[in-house]
Amino acid sequence: MGLIRGASKDCAIILSGQRIENGPLRFEDEFVRHKVLDLIGDLALAGRRIQGRVVAERAGHAMHTALVQRLMRDRSAWELAHGYNEVRSRRLRWGICGLPL
């Protein structure tokens, strides 16, 4: 935890206790926006457009990727939406960590 690889003060928010060291924030809800974008990016690892509702509380990358892995293992937990181009999706058949599905 707390490791930012390849980052600098110009592209990261540095916190010290309850204080922001290199503010100001660009948005009042910047931390929330970051968490939502993390979730969207991690769910994109499924290689398919996801149509559904996700509720995540205190989630992080490990939980997001575990969800994607579990969904990919359990074919009964999801179905392809009507009109989805299955031929196109075959090019995206790579799983977590670049391992083929």
HEC string of the chain equals CCCCCCCCCCCCCCEECCEECCCCCCCCCHHHHHHHHHHHHHHHHHCCCCCCCCCCCCCCHHHHHHHHHHHHHCHHHCCCCCCCCHHHHHHHCECHHHCEC
Structure token digits, residue 24: 């100001």
Q: pLDDT per position in the chain (101 positions), as tens? A: 455 567 777 778 888 888 998 888 889 999 999 899 999 999 988 888 888 888 888 899 999 999 899 888 888 888 877 665 555 444 444 444 444 44
Catalytic residues: 61
